[in-house]
Amino acid sequence: MTDMPYDRAPGDTSPPPELQSATRSDAGIYTLGLALAVILTGTSFWVANTSLLWAPGVSLGLAVLAIAQMGIHLVFFLHITTGPDNTNNVLALAFGVLIVLLVVAGSLWIMGNLHDNLMPSAELMDLHMPH
């Protein structure tokens, strides 16, 4: 375990005095996050365009890389951690994810209903088409 009593995000700008000399600069943290994000993006493009991988596994690989990319952004750029001082940030993130999921699910439901209810049937289309 670690001797630190709390969890800190990379790039946290308010370290305690005893840890100030041990922290890296904000530019270094953001540069590391950017490098990791670029590597994951490049890997995603490679996975999507290569024929070396098992075809059904490509979508799973892309999903894993997308989740890793989200984790990089949350930790390195948004500074979301599990520390007690980050409770509001985590709750705001969870609420945002809930809202996005509701919007996506509602949109898919509406589009499915529109497709079923607005598309004329094949018999109806044949009646109105001149032969």
Q: Where are the domains of the chain?
A: 1-81, 82-131
- The string of pLDDT tens digits covering residues 20-44 is 544 557 788 899 999 999 999 999 9
- The string of pLDDT tens digits covering residues 82-113 is 777 888 888 888 999 999 999 999 999 998 88
Q: How far apart are alpha carbons 83 and 89 in whole angstroms?
A: 10
| pTM: predicted TM-score of the whole model, two decimal places | 0.58
In the structure, what pLDDT confidence band is assigned to residue 130 with cuts at 50, 70 and 90? low
